[in-house]
Amino acid sequence: MESINAGILAIKILNELKYNKRMFYNWPIWFRGDKEENIRELLVSEISNIKNELLKGTLNPKLEEIEAIPMYKKVKDNSGSQSHNVITFSSSKKITGKIEFNYFIQLSLQDFIVSVIWVETVGKIVDNGFDSDIYANRLSVSQSSFFKPYFDAYSEFRDSNFDKMRQWINNKETGIYIQTDLSRCYYNVSVQNIKERLLNELRKHSISGLEFITEYIFSIIEKYNNLKEVREFLATLNNSEEKNQESIDRVLPIGFLPSNILSNLYLLELDQKIKEEFYPVNYSRYVDDIVFLIKTDISENYLSSELPEVERIKSKLSLIKNSLKNSVELNEEKTLFFIVNKQNDINYLNKFEKETQQLSSDNYRLIDPNEYDKEFENAYKLTQGLTKLSDLFTIVRDKKYISRTISTIFNYIFWNLKEDIDGDNVRLSKKFIDYFYSFVDDEFLLNLFDYWYQLIVIELVSKKLLLSEHSKSPISIKKYKLKFWNRFQLLKENVNEENDYLNVFLSNFEKKVEKIFSCKINTPLYQIQEYFRYPRYKLENIIDETSLFYFEKQLRKLVQFKCSQSLSISSKNEDFLTIIKKNFCNNFPAAQDIKVFDNADTKIEGYESKDRIVLSQSNFETYSKREKYFLSNSKNKSNITDIVITLNESDRNNADVLLYPEQGIPIQEIYSLVRFSKKTKTLVIGGMDFIYLKEKEKVLNLTFIIRPFKVLKGEKEYKDVEIILLPKIYPSPIEYETFHNSRAYSGDNWEIYIPNPDEWKNQHIIEFKGSYHAILNCYEATSIDLKYEISKEEPEIVHLITNNKDIKYYYQIAESLSRDLMAVSTITNYSKFGGVEVFSPYKEEYKRQISLHKGAKNTHVDICDIDLEAIKHKRLNNLDSTMKQNPPKHYYRNLGK
């Protein structure tokens, strides 16, 4: 326990409050009052004090503050069947079925901190003893979260079995997939049995000093079980008090983090019995979902009624249930069998896999950040027109899809470099809210209760209401007459009287929301909302710069400016150009630049070398509309829809390098590219849209390079990114004349910025995955000086990012560079002009011109495969006769001259 780091634990708690949406109900309980204080410092202080008292054995649990609150689970229709994830939409449809609830524990901040200290100490000891076939609620090795991310864990659980079945099908083998689950997993346990197993586990490892905190945890569990509401609720579940007293000993509190580990410990006996009885070739359990595979001979022409093996499996499962003396409740009715025989093909298996995913009810968490980019493409269909938006609700009826769309919109609003109520954000929010409430029925709205806070905030943005302004003089959130509150009120009025718990649940949410939105600015309750909404780089008052990754530090520099408007002097009195020169030059980060929570044992490395790379070139039709917008308004117009298409297509093709044309990306959208580069390990290169520096009366044309790399901290590997921003050394004559002969939207003069070339030497070449890339921004490619400078570094690839009508000239430049440098050269232009092209220095034209595409109306990426090993090989020995002859530098060096 002494090794607990209060600073790291505080960050883990904040992240649990951010990503576990059920923690929303604790916000106003734990962070009360109007005192302005830093929430992270508050948590660090509380953790340190509690840790010291635990070590002394003097801390008493605040049992009087423990409560149980009803939390919606699902609607069960009158026939007893349940539609899991797909429903029919009709805004007038009312709830007619029985609403089921769970009772969630609500406890003091002190007791929650004790529970997470227990997780980090006793929990780790227990978790280390679990086999790898237990997937849910496994502790993370990360310094930012308690448990392994849901998406990763569930994907591994699902994939472990389907990967094995794919092997069966490929090898013409046969077997049976069995999927079953446990009824009300946390309610069918013996708490006393768990406690005895836990203490035995600690004794087995000869661990002392953790008995006090363990007793503390079980006193909380005992108090929860003795709450009147819990006893009555459990009695209701069992239909009578008499049955309740006979069948239930004590239960694990839902919403209590130690319960996650204790349930895994309790179910070890069940895991072992299934393995001993069936000897499965693969076994996996995710909380209460159990899947295992049995290898057996099955005829190609089998009939399900003539498959005795299935009946034998059912009988054995019943015997296992009976042998455990009903200490677990195997749900035999929901046991599913999938037969793999020699006639099955992969498509048949893929269809079944998709169906099993639809059965999962684990969609209550906030969308995992790892999934964020994948959801962009679907979410931003909304911006393409009303038909597409209505399709979301009339064709796509999956509540997981809609909940992820809500999260994507919510994240996009707050995570990019725009202001919260930027025009694009307001329009997107309004469009979504209008259609959402036109199509969503009561049951579906109730199913989305975990997203109610996000829906309220999105609607506030649609009304151009800033939360910070509301918090200066708080009033009731209902005063804003949101559509949410109209539907919320109807929800209360249109539910059958037999659903007793619903009014309690709705009233509790209503009270919590009023407290949350009535808090004052800079209080801990206000800050936890900031933490929920914003990425780390925006949380300057909460997240210290020393714990940021390199890209987060860079983004924190940019967020000082209003990037969707004309850029003015920042609050720190450093102009934009100065910040670019200091923080965004082409200098590979050093270990001391990245501490990652602390400064111990940190190394920085690039990604592994590749002999062949996949090149992805964005094909945008034209820049003309965005150019007119900039010249008329002095700010950038978003093209996020096009960006998202290119990101997703590039990801699907496993690209190593993604290229954009000159002026391809507005600066306010760079965060989307940074996230993509970090996640996919893709090098992203292109041009920024014009940037107007109002105070300087200058217009910037920037080249951007986003290079991913890895940070090694002990055995843990983190992903990081470097953002490089380079002013165009030689703006074109047309650029100079355009701004010299016009004025900005404000009426001020403006001129294209012309940098001093000496200040930006050796900036145009980077190393990535074992090869060197040179980048030239359009007119720069005509400079003999720049071409000579890059030739000294011997790049294997030269990228020309262009917005130019002089197509033939630039084709000649690119082909000449390919020959002169013995390198691959690329052109990424707008399709209305030259489109995209890739050259390699081969003699025959069909080999020399690797890729060519122009004139497309639709946004897409062009993909090609580049053989860098062939280039390197030719440079070293002059031998490859299919290629052009080496330039003198390489030719005579190989001869030793």
Cα 841 from Cα 845, distance rounded (Å)? 9
Q: How many residues does the chain have?
A: 897
Cα 137 from Cα 267, distance rounded (Å)? 13
Chain mean pLDDT for the chain: 85
Complete domains list, the chain, with CATH: 43-359 (no CATH), 369-535 (no CATH), 552-894 (3.60.110.10)
Cα 801 from Cα 861, distance rounded (Å)? 15
Cα 367 from Cα 356, distance rounded (Å)? 19
Q: How confident is the model at residue 222 (pLDDT cuts 50, 70, 90)?
A: very high
User: Six-digit token pair at 853?
Assistant: 């595409």
Q: What are phi and psi of 71, to 5 degrees?
A: -125, 130
Residue 239, pLDDT score: 62
Q: What are phi and psi of 734, to 5 degrees?
A: -65, -40
What number is the average pLDDT over the span 381-385? Answer: 37
What number is the average pLDDT over the span 24-46? Answer: 94
Cα 637 from Cα 635, distance rounded (Å)? 7
**Residue, of 539 and 372, whose pLDDT is higher:** 539
Q: What are phi and psi of 566, to 5 degrees?
A: -65, 135
| The most confident of 3-12, 558-567, 658-667, 743-752, by mean pLDDT | 658-667
Give 81-131 pLDDT, tens digit per residue: 444 444 344 555 567 777 888 899 999 999 999 999 999 999 999 999 999
Residue 104, pLDDT score: 94
| Pair 441, 89: CB distance under 8 Å | yes
Residue 119, pLDDT score: 97
Give 770-801 pLDDT, tens digit per residue: 999 999 999 999 999 999 999 999 999 999 99
What number is the average pLDDT over the span 491-498? Answer: 74
Residue 362, pLDDT score: 45
Cα 557 from Cα 540, distance rounded (Å)? 11
Burial (CB count within 10 angstroms: exposed 0-12, middle 13-18, buried 19+), residue 24: buried
Cα 631 from Cα 782, distance rounded (Å)? 26
Q: What are phi and psi of 377, to 5 degrees?
A: -60, -45
Grouping H, G, I as helix, E, B as strand and the rest as coil, residue 825 is: strand
**Residue, of 499 and 800, whose pLDDT is higher:** 800
Q: How confident is the model at residue 597 (pLDDT cuts 50, 70, 90)?
A: low
**Residue, of 824 and 390, whose pLDDT is higher:** 824
**Residue, of 739 and 715, whose pLDDT is higher:** 739
Nearest to 380 by CA among 321, 424, 348: 424
Cα 742 from Cα 593, distance rounded (Å)? 42
- CB within 8 A of 40, min separation 6: which ones? 10, 11, 14, 542, 543, 544
Give 539-591 pLDDT, tens digit per residue: 999 998 888 899 999 999 999 887 777 776 554 567 899 999 999 998 877 76
Q: Which percentage of the chain shows pLDDT scores above 90? A: 51
Strand residues in 634-729 grouped as ranges (E)? 657-659, 683-687, 691-693, 698-700, 702-713, 716-727
Amino acid at 688: M
